[in-house]
Amino acid sequence: MTASQIGSSTRRFGGYERVTGSQEFVADLRLDGMLFVKLVSIDCARARIVSVDTSAARGLAGVVAVVTSDDLPQPVPRFGPVYKDRPILAVGETKYHGEPVAAVVAESKEVAEVAASLVAIQFEELPAVFTVASALNPLSPLVQEPELRSAGTLASTNVLSEQVFGWGDLGATEADLVIENDYCFPMVTHFAIEPHGCMVVSSSGGFEVWSPVQHPYLLQAILADLFDLPLTRVRVVAPDPGGAFGGKQNPKFEPLLCFLARMTNRPVRLILTLEESFQATRRTSAEIHIRSGFSRDGLLCFQDIESNFLLGAYADIAGRVVSKSNYLGCGPYRTPVAKIRARALLSHTTPSCAFRGFGTPQVAWALESQMDAAARHLGIDGLQIRLMNLAAKGEDVVPGDVPADGEWAQSVQKAASAVGWGEPLEPNHGRGIAVGIKSGATTGLSYSTIRLLFDGSVTIYAGTSDMGQGARTIFAQIVSDELGVPIEQIDVVMGDTSVVPFDLQTSASRSTVFMGNAILDACRDIQLQVRELAAELHGTALENVRIVAGGVFISEVKVSIPEVVQASLGRLRGELIGNGTMRRTDIANHPLGGRPAFFEFNCTAFEVGVDVETGEVSVIKHVSVGDTGKSLNPLQVEMQDEGAAIMGLGHTMMEHVILDESGRIANLGALDYRIPTSKDLPLSLSTYSIENADGPGPYGSKGVSEGAILCTAPAFASAVTEATGVVIRNLPLTPERVWRAIRDGASDSSTVEQV
Amino acid sequence: MIDALPVVLNINGLKYEFEVLPYRSLLDVLRDELGLTGTKECCAVGECGACTVHFDGRSINACLMLAIEADGGSVTTIEGIAPPGEMTRVQDAFLEHGAVQCGFCIPGMVMSAEYLLARNPHPTEEETREGLSGNLCRCGGYNRMLQAISSVSEESTP
Amino acid sequence: MKPFLYQRPGSLAQTFDLLSEYGSSARILAGGTDLIVGLRQQSVDASVLVDIKGIGEFLPEVAFADGHFVIGATTDISRVCENEKFRATFPALVEAMETVGSVQIRNRATLVGNVCNASPAADTVPPLAIYGAMVNVGGRDGTRQVPVQEFIRGPRQTALRPGEFVLSVQLPVPNAPLGVAFARLTRRRGVDLATVNLSCSIDSVGTVRFAFGAVGPRLVLGIERSGVLADSGAPAGDRDAALANLIAATSPRTDIRGTQDYRSAMLLVLSRRILAEAAGRLDSGQP
Ligand code: FES
Ligand code: FES
């Protein structure tokens, strides 16, 4: 019998491969006879394509094809996870900086590159939309042609969707203090260290596609739809992504590669440069106007939120980013009255999509900064105002929906004590604290199959994508405990739609809960089969056979599961197969289509020191506490939490995509777009978990991995305010921005009504 | 047409003789021609360190070196720092301390950590941060990497 | 990268032959850390790279002769930083060199290359100028010396004439007590290009020299002899006025790394700081 795996810091599955370089990412795979694809784009965001001259490129030795939208089926097919709005290649005009106009296919990477530089594109820059203000202006050009939009009054505007959530009667609500402000959260880019890429083979009427995609089954469905193929004819192999963070959820260039593979009848491969990856996807930026009402003693009376999220030229999944984050726009608090108006706006910028936190960091930036503004005006401590408004377990967050599912105050208390809340501070130092909640996954099916082989070893099939969160490890831990199999004898197979059963997606921190439960269910299936075999073997009734901690008890006699299987199946051998699912269905009329399966709650606290002459901020302490229900693998929980914290520090302190007047990304690439390095790591970074086994996942677990990015920015900014007295409402808090605020004496500029 | 030029390189203790186009980087040659794909490519401009290898015993960005420049030298890649099936103490400590998430940055990170400890077996935390600062990890495992390196440093006798 | 030829001459004479044969389409390759990036991003065009690492005449490391340190064109920055005597003699330059790129970059990038790249943001240039560095330019007809601040004429522009290339940089060992300091400001703590960088020196007769980088098309040098900057007891207002006077010669611009007014303000803040540091070094007898 092995010691319990659940709750232990089992080493990462696939760890050996990752530290030795033998882990194969998509760019490490080679296909015989493959051709290399290079995308051709223009140095402008929105432009009319006047002409494309491919003759010089075609004439180069080693070039197999140069393809523009004219070479594709007409009208050019479009695709997308929600709206079919993205063309395979630009049609008539480009809509964002980097949108490919042509693709070169060549025998080598170098030839493809040279040929791409020989494609001569004449274009004429067109007026474009790059900001929230211009997207809202009725005189601005339309990003998407109305005939391509679904019908409705919004089709002739740049508003993709507009949703209003709320409860209570705002007009009839009074407050002693009303604070009103505008907040800005800029575009940031995922910057996975593995750039995007894919390979496609066209074969026997279908395709084999290699893509480090987070949702292989969605990619399969989209390709099958585009090419009118049965799902069986589209095989998606999804090697583990080298970081995804939401950026690799949905198809980008896989459809193009399918066309190219068909046209050339050869395997084709496209590995983007980092710069092209920047141009492929980004976080949805936001401008949020918010009015918050409080009673004299600090209780929330209402929130009135108008948030405008700036999407790119194609919707991708960003509409859902907006609705899901704004649905919980009032945070983890008891909010008596709320009105939230959230718009998703199209613009001539990089298509935005999911990014760790899925819109919540944007919303929490505004909301939590408001809590601090109120605390300052009321003379209340930032910790107290949160504790006093936080929903207790079982209390409503959104009335009528899932109530608070954790003892959230415990996390807040833990963070406060870890950061040394209330202790004396050096000059120009400050502390800040903030909270965030994100709605976990809502709906969908996760399916798992488990094979218990004759010798007692196990193969788990799970359609999850192991992109750094360590899903394989967690799944193996569950099976190890449930079936009494040593962890070394477990194999986890993922990432191949031809072999592994369906999983809706890998996102929204769902895998431990959804796939974890499916695996638990599959284990139960096997346990039942084992009990039946044991009962038969020992000539006893089923109820006399129990399975406890992976061991089989027949009355008082204990045997192992493999012993039962081997004795029963005998000389002719065999195996047991267990199936398991977790499925949550749509709820009609629910704004999110379904209730959150859990909330991901986090409290983050900082101590910072500010160089008031230069605006540089030193992070002395950075504390993150997550409400994990149960940490199935504490080491993995901590590393993901730290990772999310560091990523949050990036968008808080230094990251933003800068556009020039033509909508081009001015800081395109690693030289000019800065993310945190080892030197930017806080002097002390610590993470903690609150475990009350109150989650819906296996053993009371909840999803983790996004928590620590939710409220990094407001906690940090609040600490800077305490250190300097200045209040900043635009991210990131670069040294220059902090310096400027100090120079301008930018103390709290909230519009305040005090009754 | 530009001709390929002959190159002799010692890679991970083995002698390789081949011809290379002058404008191919060492990284491209390692990955595309020799199948040593443990060394990764991300930025191709010397910022991310995913391509870190040791050239004549010193850590460098393989994306910024031409293969032809390496002629006559010796290269150690991630594949060459431990015998197959084994790990160095740094690699082991990375796993033990949870420094490995998606893993894409890890080969380069390990090469930087090995180089740091080879030159300075007992680095201060500040020296370790400096030693890793040419390697980006978007999964944000830096804290764990510092712990891993400090555990290796503590094991070795001062 | 677009295709190019590669040549690896074994001597200076062969190198000059190649430079005259290929003219302006030839590029000198030493560390390559800027050149390869430029080629990849197509901001630099070259039909041939002339790799000078095979030239027999180059001294491999850091040489010392006649009161000068000589850093050859193929000596990488890490090697220079490892030289204990050099470290002790030029601490502010070493600090600047240690901010260039990452460990991996410094193991390839040469000090000469950092100068030849002629980037307004190059961190080594202000302290090189303060220490009185000379650039030894080689041509078919001999060698000429150019002070570093004259060698860099503007962004990506040097005083090199056709057929010439830089053989070495040389630094005189200060012959009188001197305190020198260096500072830079960046957007993050990790490897980054400077928003501003600067260096200053102070000598025992109270002369103060400043060099400001990243705040104009080329290095800005200033000298203050009144003694007010050397006198830490002088009224702060007078000292700031003297610094402001020096800074007035700079012309910082707004770009993605910083705005013009931030850069100007930081020059004053950092000038005060490095002045104090340089004075401390002078007092403690460090150069
Ligand atoms: S790929 Fe070489 S440093 Fe990024
Ligand atoms: S582990 Fe993913 S980038 Fe470092």
Residue A504 maps to a domain: yes
Domain stops at, among A111, A126, A141: A126
Contact status of A24 with chain B (Cβ, < 8 Å):
yes
Residue C105 CA: which ligand is closest? 1
Mean predicted confidence (pLDDT) in C14-28: 95
Average pLDDT, 10 consecutive residues per value, chain A (755 residues): 82 95 97 97 98 98 98 97 96 98 97 97 98 98 93 92 96 96 98 97 94 96 97 97 95 97 98 97 98 97 98 95 95 98 98 96 98 97 98 96 97 98 98 96 92 96 90 95 95 95 85 93 97 95 94 92 94 95 90 93 98 97 97 96 98 97 96 95 97 96 94 98 97 97 88 80
Distance of CA A45 to the CA centre of its chain: 26
- The CA distance from A447 to A359, in Å, is 28
Q: Is the pLDDT of residue B147 over 50?
A: yes
Tell if the CB–CB gap between C4 and B49 is shorter than 8 Å.
no
Distance from the A720 Cα atom to the nearest Cα atom in chain C, whole angstroms: 17
**Closest CB from A21, A110, A643 relative to B101:** A643
Tell if the CB–CB gap between C259 and A743 is shorter than 8 Å.
no
Distance from the A235 Cα atom to the nearest Cα atom in chain B, whole angstroms: 24
- Which of C231, C236, C185 has its CA nearest to residue C208? C231
* Tokens standing for residue C129: 């100028």
B142 within ligand 2 shell (Cβ under 6 A): no
Same domain, A296 and A433: yes
Domains in chain A, number: 3
Same domain, A286 and A416: yes
| Contact between residue C172 and residue C93 where contact means Cβ atoms under 8 Å apart | no
Phi/psi region, residue B44 (left: phi>0; alpha: psi -120 to 50; beta: rest), is: left
Give the atom of ligand 2 at the shortest distance from the alpha carbon of A18.
1
Same domain, A417 and A372: yes
pLDDT in tens, A392-430: 999 999 999 999 999 999 999 999 999 999 999 999 999
Distance from the A666 Cα atom to the nearest Cα atom in chain C, whole angstroms: 7
Domain range enclosing A457: 442-584
- Which of A291, A394, A364, A277 has its CA nearest to residue A39? A277
Same domain, A428 and A287: yes
C neighbour chains, 3+ CB pairs within 8 Å:
A, B
| Contact between residue A628 and residue A601 where contact means Cβ atoms under 8 Å apart | no
Same domain, A646 and A738: yes
pLDDT in tens, B116-133: 999 999 999 999 999 999
Contact status of B98 with chain A (Cβ, < 8 Å):
yes
User: If contacts are CB pairs under 8 Å, which of residues 93-132 in chain A contact chain B?
Assistant: 109-110
Residue A205 maps to a domain: no
Same domain, A358 and A399: yes
Residue A469 CA: which ligand is closest? 2
Contact status of B77 with chain C (Cβ, < 8 Å):
no
Spacing, Cα A243 to ligand 2 middle (Å): 7
Spacing, Cα A450 to ligand 2 middle (Å): 29
User: The domain that contains A69 carries what CATH number?
Assistant: 3.90.1170.50
| Contact between residue A617 and residue A726 where contact means Cβ atoms under 8 Å apart | no
Enumerate the residues of chain C whose CB falls inside 8 A of the CB of residue B66: 6, 29, 32, 36, 49
**CATH classification code of B5-80:** 3.10.20.30
3-class secondary structure, A115: helix
Residue A742 maps to a domain: yes
| Contact between residue A319 and residue A584 where contact means Cβ atoms under 8 Å apart | no
Residue A157 maps to a domain: no
Question: Hunting for tokens 């800065």 — which residue is that?
Answer: A674
Enumerate the residues of chain B whose CB falls inside 8 A of the CB of residue C191: 47, 133-134
Same domain, A596 and A454: no
pLDDT in tens, A612-658: 999 999 999 999 999 999 999 999 999 999 999 999 999 999 999 99
- The CA distance from A171 to A374, in Å, is 21
Q: Give the rounded percent of residues in chain C with a pLDDT score beyond 90.
A: 87
A193 within ligand 2 shell (Cβ under 6 A): yes
Helices (H), A347-452: 360-378, 382-389, 408-419
> What residue spans define the domains of chain B?
5-80, 89-155
3-class secondary structure, B64: helix
B141 within ligand 2 shell (Cβ under 6 A): yes
Query: Residue A554 phi/psi, 5° resolution?
Result: -105, 110
Secondary-structure percent of chain B, ordered helix, strand, coil, rounded to 5: 40, 15, 45
| Contact between residue A509 and residue A441 where contact means Cβ atoms under 8 Å apart | yes
**Residue A568: CA count within 13 A, CB half-sphere:** 23
Q: Give the rounded percent of residues in chain C with a pLDDT score beyond 70.
A: 99
Residue A76 maps to a domain: yes
- The CA distance from A649 to A711, in Å, is 10
pLDDT of residue A1: 43
Same domain, A497 and A508: yes
Mean predicted confidence (pLDDT) in C200-219: 93
pLDDT band with cut points at 50, 70 and 90 for residue C60:
low
3-class secondary structure, A576: strand
**Closest CB from C42, C189, C256 relative to A672:** C256
Same domain, A528 and A623: no
pLDDT of residue A478: 96
Same domain, A385 and A427: yes
Query: Residue A731 phi/psi, 5° resolution?
Result: -100, 160
CB atoms within 10 A of CB A392: 12
Same domain, A419 and A293: yes
Q: Is the pLDDT of residue C193 over 90?
A: no
* Tokens standing for residue A391: 């929903």
| Contact between residue A508 and residue A526 where contact means Cβ atoms under 8 Å apart | no
- Which of A213, A196, A198 has its CA nearest to residue A250? A213
pLDDT band with cut points at 50, 70 and 90 for residue C59:
confident
- Which of C88, C247, C273 has its CA nearest to residue C185? C273
**Closest CB from A20, A639, A647 relative to B38:** A20
- Which of B16, C32, C14, B102 has its CA nearest to residue A191? B102
Contact status of B146 with chain A (Cβ, < 8 Å):
yes
| Cα-based distances in Å from C235 to A277, C232, C241 | 55, 8, 10
Residue A191 CA: which ligand is closest? 2
3-class secondary structure, A535: helix
Q: Residue A151 gets which letter from DSSP?
A: S
- The CA distance from A46 to A95, in Å, is 5
Residue A335 maps to a domain: yes
| Contact between residue B145 and residue B117 where contact means Cβ atoms under 8 Å apart | no
Contact status of A23 with chain B (Cβ, < 8 Å):
yes
Element (H, E) at A199: strand A197-203
- The CA distance from A635 to A469, in Å, is 11
For the whole prediction, is pTM greater than 0.90? Answer: yes
- The CA distance from A359 to A257, in Å, is 30
- The CA distance from C211 to C194, in Å, is 14
The overall average pLDDT reported for chain C is 94
Residue A132 maps to a domain: no
Residue A71 maps to a domain: yes
Spacing, Cα B138 to ligand 2 middle (Å): 5
Residue type at A658 in one-letter notation: I
- The CA distance from A390 to A393, in Å, is 9
Domain stops at, among A107, A126, A145: A126
Distance of CA A109 to the CA centre of its chain: 31
Spacing, Cα C97 to ligand 1 middle (Å): 21
Q: Is the pLDDT of residue C188 over 90?
A: no
| Extended beta strands in A529-575, E state | 545-548, 551-554, 557-560
- The b-or-e profile of A507-532 (16+ CB within 10 A means b, else e) is bbbbbbbbbbbbbbbbbebbbebbbe
Tell if the CB–CB gap between B46 and C5 is shorter than 8 Å.
no
Fold of B89-155: DNA polymerase; domain 1 (1.10.150)
Q: In sequence order, what are the residues at sequence separation of 6 or more whose Cβ sits closer than 8 angstroms to the Cβ of residue C65?
A: none
Domain stops at, among A584, A600, A618: A584
**Residue A150: CA count within 13 A, CB half-sphere:** 6
User: The domain that contains A318 carries what CATH number?
Assistant: 3.30.365.10
Residue type at A574 in one-letter notation: G
